[in-house]
Amino acid sequence: MESFSDFASAADSFIWSPYLLIPALIGTGIILTIRLGAIHLVKLGPALRLGLIDRNDDDAEGDITNYQALATALAATVGVGNIVGVATAIGLGGPGALFWMWVTGLLGMASKYSEAFLGVKYRQTDAAGEQSGGPQYYLRKAIPNGFGKTLGILFAVFAALAAFGIGNLTQGNAVASNLENSFDIDPTLSGMIMFILVGAALMGGIKSIGRITASFVPMMIVLYIGAAVWVLVANVSALPETFKLIFTDAFTGTAAVGGFAGSTLILALQMGVARGLFSNESGLGSGAIAAAAASTTHPVRQGLVSMTQTFIDTIIVVSFTGLVIISTGVWQDGNVDTGALTAEAFSRGLPGHWGGTIVTLSVVFFAFSTMLGWSYYGERAFESLVGRRGTGLYRAVFTCVVFVGAVTQLETVWSVASALNGLMALPNLIGLIVLSGLIARETKAYLEFDPQLRATAAEIDKWQSQQDFEAFSKN
């Protein structure tokens, strides 16, 4: 087992090294940002309005509203990575890791938009009459010959496996561990309860998942951010130095201070990008699977809604976690395990036992929602490989593994999960680069027609018919 653990750790380090996935992620984000005219910054306001206020495209084809698709994507991403992942990144990479998480988030918004756009454009109706889409479909459909098919199969295999790591074992284990440490609840009991709740939720498929996540995802985010604001107000005098540390250490690394071992620029970059992607999943391709189920009148509209998920996850939730850890100074405390930095920071900033309690409850809610979102991602990936008949089996196995994660020590799972994340991202990033011209052309055309995203379904149908006629006439 020790040799496998070493292998998993080595594979994870190589995949996330500055020689492979880090430049691929950042490079893809830069290319898409340029080709799309920084759409994620220019259209952020209308996109937030469409996703959070309007919430739905009337008379549109799909299984869930575009808000429910956003909530499902948020459910899958706002998980343990926002608490433990951020703590690990800062604990090992120093305050500068938060800067690189921001970079990953901002550039990742362009990647998230692009993959969601493609997810809707190339989605298809499955045997049950539901919408199926994601990289496993658009890579195969949009990229000709065997190359696209190979990329699509690789993504599906890695996604179906990765769901058990990032979206299951790590989440269930975090819930059980936190409940045991905070409330002395036996992990077996926690595992049984999660087994029942996850299984019940998955029986209803994406419609059930969409309703559940839409109801409690906003609540859990507001609770967590509210507690973080309290801590930051209590430590407001430390904020100027906190921001200084973040920006300076991003390029210089952190000298050893107290119990902190110190980090290099490369480690800050590596931890920031790796944990940033683990949190927001931009470029991973998973968000396109949820986007494909949305009731939307045009791929551009759902792409813009989906990109707000990365903004909320990284620029808001991750930022508050990182600022709390750095401003309270716990990142320098060598007596605190890196994974426990967030709980310790909240405990120091909130009265009584409220800090630990809020972090524990946040882990429970965040992790549970992530399990639901990733069960759908893995199921859709598996379905693309074996057909609709495999979805029931996948749900059953996924539900059972939730219990396994709660009662088992998972020494190597984080490395395996991180490595599989990277392997998922590679075929998707290649596809985004190859298809970037198509994405840019169709995005520009739609936004010239509907710059504020207020067109009705009838107006969009009329415009699209005209576009199709003009394209036919040219040929």
Rounded to whole angstroms, how far apart are CA atoms 41 and 108? 12
More confident residue, 59 or 20: 20
Rounded to whole angstroms, how far apart are CA atoms 290 and 244? 38
Instruction: Please name the residue that has the structure tokens 């756009």.
Output: 117
Q: What is the mean pLDDT of residues 11-23?
A: 85
Rounded to whole angstroms, how far apart are CA atoms 263 and 113? 33
End-to-end CA distance of the chain: 61
Q: What is the mean pLDDT of residues 295-314?
A: 92
Rounded to whole angstroms, how far apart are CA atoms 442 and 347? 49
For 30, which DSSP code?
A: H
pLDDT tens, 157-201? 999 999 998 889 888 888 898 888 888 999 999 999 999 999 988
Rounded to the nearest integer, the mean pLDDT of the chain is 87
pLDDT, position 130: 84
The DSSP-derived string for 284-318 is TSHHHHHHTTEE-S-HHHHHHHHHHHHIIIIIIII
Rounded to whole angstroms, how far apart are CA atoms 351 and 445? 54
Nearest 5°: CA angle at 425, between 211 and 141? 80
> 318 φ, ψ to 5°?
-60, -40
Q: Is 254 helix (H, G, I), strand (E, B) or coil?
A: strand
Q: What is the mean pLDDT of residues 435-464?
A: 93
Please state which of the ranges 46-60, 108-122, 379-393 shows the lowest mean pLDDT.
Answer: 46-60
> 41 φ, ψ to 5°?
-95, -45
Radius of gyration, CA atoms only, the chain: 21
Rounded to whole angstroms, how far apart are CA atoms 94 and 272? 9
pLDDT, position 262: 53
Q: Is the pLDDT assigned to residue 474 strictly greater than 80? A: no
Q: What is the mean pLDDT of residues 343-356?
A: 86
The DSSP-derived string for 111-145 is HHHHHHHHHHHT-EE-TTS-EE-SHHHHHHHHS-H
Pairing mode of beta strands 64-65, 124-125: unpaired
Q: CB–CB of 29/276 below 8 Å?
A: no
pLDDT, position 265: 72
Rounded to whole angstroms, how far apart are CA atoms 235 and 247? 19
pLDDT, position 257: 46
Q: CB–CB of 262/255 below 8 Å?
A: yes
Q: What is the mean pLDDT of residues 271-297?
A: 85
pLDDT tens, 222-261? 889 999 999 999 999 999 999 999 999 888 866 444 445 5
pLDDT tens, 263-283? 567 777 878 887 777 778 888
Tokens read off for 171: 């989440």
- A 10 A CB-CB count for 411 gives 11
SS (H, E, C) 240-252: HHHHHHHHHHHHH
> 131 φ, ψ to 5°?
-80, 130
pLDDT, position 256: 42
- From its phi and psi, is residue 440 left (phi > 0), alpha (psi between -120 and 50) or beta? alpha
Give me the residues paired with residue 64 across strands. 294
pLDDT, position 475: 62
- A 10 A CB-CB count for 33 gives 20
* Residues 93-117: b if buried by 16+ CB within 10 A, e if exposed: bbbbbbbbbbbbbbbbbbbbbbbbb
Give me the residues paired with residue 294 across strands. 64
Nearest 5°: CA angle at 38, between 32 and 39? 95
More confident residue, 263 or 112: 112
- A 10 A CB-CB count for 412 gives 17
The identity of residue 27, as a single letter, is G
Q: What percent of the chain has pLDDT over 70?
A: 96
Q: What is the mean pLDDT of residues 456-460?
A: 88
Structural element, H or E, at residue 272: helix 265-280
pLDDT, position 259: 44
pTM of the model: 0.91
**Residue 417 — very low, low, confident or very high, per pLDDT cuts 50/70/90?**
confident
- Residue 458 CA, chain-centre distance (Å), reads 33
Q: Is the pLDDT assigned to residue 144 strictly greater than 90? A: no
